[in-house]
Amino acid sequence: MLFYAVGELFQTMAVKRAKANIKTLLDQRPDEVTILQDNRAKTIKAENASIGDIIQLKVGEKLGLDGDLISENAFFNTAALTGESKPDRKSKGQTVLAGMINLHSVSLIKVTAAYTDSKLSKILELVQKNATSQKAPTELFIRKFAKSIRLSLYFCFCNYCITLLFVDNYLFTKWLYRALIFLVISCPCALVISIPLGYFGGIGAASKNGILFKGSNFLDAIAEIQNVVMDKTGTMTEGVFKVQEIVFKPEFNKEEILEMVNALESQSTHPVATAIRQFAGEINPNIKLESVEEISGHGLKAILQNKELLVGNFKLMDKFSITYDIDPTSIVYTLIAVAYNKKFVGYLTIADSIKPDAKETVDKLKALHVKITMLSGDKHNVVKFVSDKLGITDAFGDLLPEDKVNKVKEIKERNESVAFVGDGVNDAPVIALSSVGIAMGGLGSDATIETADIVIQDDMPSKIPMAINIGKQTKRIVWQNIILAFSVKAIVLLLGAGGLASMWEAVFADVGVALLAILNAVRIQRAEF
C-alpha cells in the first residue's frame, strides 16, 4: 500500500504540473493598463481600474478589461477569442473584450466590467475549479483491487487453519511457512504502483512534447479514437494573412509594380496592407506619391509620375472603369487588384497559409487508420481548396457553431469515438460534445482551452497523431504490466499452495515483478513518438 501511495503521488504531481502549465498558458492578462485622467496618461494596476475609466491602448498591446470602443474605428487581432484569421474591425460604441490585441493606431476604450468580471478572468476561475485530474478506468479497477488486499489475509488464514482439519501429520511450521508464502505472493504491489506510474509516464512524455493531458483517463480515450474532426483556421492553417501569389501581366515589370503597391499600401492601416508590406519589405524612398486617397470599402488611389495608381478590390476597378479579363469569383483567396495608367496590371492573393506540418499530420492520422473530417465557418471553396491540398476528402464550409455540433453528433450516432480539434471560442461547444476535445493552446481561445481535455501548447497539428501514439503506448505498457503481474502471481500461487514454491519465488512474484513492472512503466519516458 506504501508503493501504491507513492505511485498515486507521482501521478498527482504530474497532473498538478499540467494544470499549472494550463493556467500559465491562459493567464496572459496584462498586469498594468494606461488610463487617461485629466487628459494625461497614467499607468496603473489593471485590477485597480474602475468601470468608466478610459484605457489608452497602444499598437500591439493586449486589452486587459472588457469595454466599449470610444475611437471611431480600430482593428483587433481576435484570434484568441474567435479562432478566425481575419482581424476584426470595431467601430465606435462596439464591445471589445479582454484578450484582444490592438493592431493599428492608438485606441481609446471605456471600461465596462471590473478586472475580476472580465471574460478572461471568469474562464481562469473555471480552470481552477473544474480542470481536475480524472482517473482512467484501468486505474479505478486497480484501486478497488488494492483495497481488497484483506482477502489475501483471509486466504492465508484458510491455507493455515483449514488444512488442520484435513491433513494427517499436521506440522505447524510447515503450513505456517506455506501461508506466509501465499501472503507474500498475493500482495498487489506490482499492480498498484506500476499502473499509476504508467499513466504518470504517459502524462510526463506528453508534457515533454508540449501536449497537456488533463487526466489519465484521456490517455485511454485518445488511444481508442476512430475519427478526428478538425477546424481549419488556426488549426491546420496559420491564422495570419500572408501574400500567397502575385499575378501581373507580362508587359509590366513585376518588381517595379510591387514597389509602387508597397509604397501606396504604407499609407493604410488595413490588415491586408500590413500583409503586403511584410511581403514586399522596405519602401523604396525614390517613389513619390501624390494625392493619396483612401476610398472606403474599395481601396487606395494615388498619382505617381502623373499617372493614376489604383490598389484595392475589384469594386475599385469597376468604379474607375478599368477593364479586366479574369473572374474574381473563381479565385478562392482574397484578391487585391492593381491598375496603373488606366490599365489593369494584375492582382495579388492574400490568404491564410497552411501550417508546414499539416500535410504530415493528415498522412500520420491515415497511417493510424483514423478517419479525418474538416469543419469550418470559412467559405466552402476556401475549405475545399485547403482540404484538397492536405488530402482530406470529407470537408465542409460555411458552418455555424451549431452546424459543427450536428456533424459531430452524426459521427457519434454511428457509435464511433471522435476527437475534435479547434482553437476558436465558437469551437468550445463541439469540443465539449466530442469524446476527446483537443485545443490549440498558442492562439486558442480561453473558453476552448478550458473546455478541452487535451491542450497542444505550440499549435502544431502534428502533435495530434503524437498524442494518439502516446495514448496507445501508455495503454500498451499498462496492460503489459497487468498481464505480467497476474500471470506470474497466478503461477507462483498455485505452486505455493502445493508446496512447490519457496519464499524466494514468493519474493520474486511480489517485489521482483513490481520492479520489472516499474522499469517497463518508465520506458515510455524515453520512447520516440
* 214-247 confidence digits (pLDDT tens): 878 888 899 999 999 998 877 898 877 788 889 9
pLDDT of residue 517: 76
Selected residue with higher pLDDT from 459 and 168: 459
- The rounded mean pLDDT for the chain is 79
User: Average pLDDT of 456-481?
Assistant: 90
Secondary structure string (H, E, C) spanning 302-371: EEECCEEEEEECHHHHHHCCCCCCCCHHHCCCEEEEEEECCEEEEEEEEEEEECCCHHHHHHHHHHCCCE
Mean pLDDT check: name the lowest of 128-142, 244-258, 446-460: 128-142
Taking CA atoms, 20 is separated from 132, 347, 377, 444, 523, in Å, by 11, 48, 32, 17, 25
Q: Quote the CA–CA distance of 28 and 476 in Å, as a whole number.
A: 38
Selected residue with higher pLDDT from 25 and 191: 191
Mean pLDDT check: name the lowest of 108-117, 121-130, 171-180, 223-232: 121-130
pLDDT of residue 345: 94
| Per-residue pLDDT at 423 exceeds 50 | yes
pLDDT of residue 15: 52
For cell 484483506, what's the residue?
150
Share of the chain above pLDDT 90, in %: 23
pLDDT of residue 174: 65
Selected residue with higher pLDDT from 188 and 69: 69
| Per-residue pLDDT at 354 exceeds 80 | yes
User: Average pLDDT of 161-173?
Assistant: 58
Beta strand 73-77 pairing with 101-102: antiparallel
pLDDT of residue 258: 93
> DSSP character for 62?
B
Q: What is the pLDDT of residues 92-105, one digit of tens each?
A: 888 888 778 888 77
User: Average pLDDT of 165-194?
Assistant: 66
pLDDT of residue 482: 82
pLDDT of residue 126: 46
| Per-residue pLDDT at 132 exceeds 50 | no
Beta strand 54-57 pairing with 107-111: antiparallel
User: Average pLDDT of 17-42?
Assistant: 67
pLDDT of residue 247: 93
Choose from 290-294, 335-339, 483-487 the range with maximum mean pLDDT: 335-339
Selected residue with higher pLDDT from 15 and 280: 280
pLDDT of residue 478: 86
Taking CA atoms, 35 is separated from 39, 44, 98, 444, 454, in Å, by 9, 7, 15, 28, 38
pLDDT of residue 13: 61
pLDDT band at 129, cuts 50/70/90? very low
Longest dimension (CA), the chain: 122
pLDDT of residue 72: 87
User: Average pLDDT of 318-332?
Assistant: 88
Q: Quote the CA–CA distance of 151 and 138 in Å, as a whole number.
A: 20
Selected residue with higher pLDDT from 236 and 171: 236
| Per-residue pLDDT at 173 exceeds 90 | no
| Per-residue pLDDT at 128 exceeds 50 | no
Domains and CATH numbers, the chain: 2-21+133-200+470-526 (no CATH), 31-114 (2.70.150.10), 213-238+355-468 (3.40.50.1000), 239-353 (3.40.1110.10)
pLDDT of residue 309: 94
pLDDT band at 152, cuts 50/70/90? low
Q: What is the pLDDT of residues 287-318, one digit of tens each?
A: 888 888 888 778 899 999 899 999 998 889 99
What is residue 130's three-state secondary structure?
A: helix
Catalytic residues: 231
pLDDT band at 471, cuts 50/70/90? very high
Question: Which is nearest to 417 in space by CA: 371, 386, 358?
Answer: 371
pLDDT band at 127, cuts 50/70/90? very low
| Per-residue pLDDT at 83 exceeds 50 | no
